[in-house]
Amino acid sequence: MSERILGIETSCDDTGVAIFDKRKGLLAHRLASQVDLHQPYGGVVPELAARDHIRTVLPLIKKVMVESETMAEDIDAVAYTAGPGLAGALLVGASIGRSLACAWEVPAVGVHHMEGHLLAPMLETPAPEFPFLALLVSGGHTMLVDVEGVGQYRLLGESLDDAVGEAFDKTAKALGLGYPGGPAIARVAEKGYPERFKLPRPMTDRPGLDFSFSGLKTAVITTIQQCETLDEQTVADVAVAFQDAVVDTLTIKCRRALQETGRDTLVVSGGVSANAQLRKKLSELGEIENVNVFYPRPEFCTDNGAMIAYTGSVRLNENISTELGFDVFPRWSLMDLPPIE
């Protein structure tokens, strides 16, 4: 029975590693952000991301092993993100994870990045219990999922165009706030007047649980063009109007999904779930609807190795291969995952 798992996350612009022990919990985790590397380009450059993962991942693994007093022979399995994500970046984590597993003669398990986000709140105390409704909001995905158990997922709604994190990033760029956009918008929004601009709450006036954020982004750009100057206060006012529109839209859809499914637990995860205003509004919704709301701690909302190590521990008996050949899956639906026995 495997107990101690090394997790490696390299799907985008963060190198995350962690050691999770089935009996003792999370023993160590480390993150190396590539923000400074990509900042001059205003977004993630895939080739640079992959090269930086190569430089960073092994020293980071060494650090978590030292910190958790883990020797190579103490590791029972290696989990790595197999997709979805940037192909070159994924290949770094996959090949290093596979090579270590081969050298240590332990199984390697390829983890679905969004299942990692979905299960990240399981690392907290108290952890949510199945079944629950999940809102997954990241840079690449916006999904409402009804979750019966691990791998028992029913997609209730998703974005038809931009993911919500992507909308944050594009809006930040239009406002000259740089990358990554989410935290930058949240920061300046604190100084904004929410009444100055009114932006749409897309797709909330019709039934259904799908989302669309590209129109909101266009509304932001039109609003900016209509302003005479884009001074600091105007930037803050647009930022708060955008954030409020997104938070309202997500809250309305969550309420609708809770009412439709009758679930009494809501799990919110992915990079955008670090947003303080979103957490506040969803917690208020929880009180109104008598629903318990769970989030990961802020550092585990965005990409990290801990969620991959944890998900690897849950999926350990499958997705396993000791073969030397392997693949990554840049596009991979969460709905394709099998239930665990």
Residues that bind Zn ion (CB under 5 A): 138, 303
Site string for ligand KG4, 231-250 (x = CB under 6 A): --------------------
Binder among 88, 97, 181, 286 for ligand KG4 (CB under 6 A): 181
Binding flag, residue 84, ligand KG4 (CB under 6 A) = no
Q: Toward ligand KG4, which CB reaches closer, 66 or 276?
A: 276
Q: Toward ligand KG4, which CB reaches closer, 80 or 168?
A: 168
Binding flag, residue 43, ligand KG4 (CB under 6 A) = no
Q: Which does 7 bind (CB under 5 to 8 A by kind): Zn ion, ligand KG4, none?
A: none
Binder among 142, 171, 249, 275 for ligand KG4 (CB under 6 A): 275
Binding flag, residue 83, ligand KG4 (CB under 6 A) = no
CB of 138 to Zn ion, least distance (A): 4
Burial 161-187 (b: 16+ CB within 10 A, else e): ebbbbbbbbbbbbbbebebbbbbbbbe
Binding flag, residue 192, ligand KG4 (CB under 6 A) = no
Spatial distance between the Cα atoms of 50 and 10, rounded to a whole number of angstroms: 8
How is 251-303 classified by DSSP, letter by letter?
HHHHHHHHHHH--SEEEEESGGGG-HHHHHHHHHHHHHHT-EEE---GGGTSS
Window contacting ligand KG4 (CB under 6 A); options: 44-52, 94-102, 150-158, 266-274: 266-274
Binding flag, residue 274, ligand KG4 (CB under 6 A) = yes
Q: E strand or H helix at 243, and its extent?
A: helix 232-261
Binding flag, residue 140, ligand KG4 (CB under 6 A) = yes
Residue type, 189: A
CB < 8 Å & 24+ apart, contacts of 275-279? 275/182, 275/186, 275/243, 275/247, 276/186, 277/186, 277/189, 277/243, 277/244, 277/247, 278/137, 278/246, 278/247, 278/250, 278/251
In 3D space, the residue among 156, 134, 336, 165 whose CA is nearest the CA of residue 242 turns out to be: 165
Residues 293-312 that bind ligand KG4 (CB under 6 A): 302-303
Binder among 10, 68, 81, 138 for ligand KG4 (CB under 6 A): 138
CB of 302 to ligand KG4, least distance (A): 3
Q: E strand or H helix at 60, and its extent?
A: helix 46-67
| Site for ligand KG4, rule CB under 6 A | 12, 138-140, 165, 168-169, 180-183, 186, 270-272, 274-275, 302-303
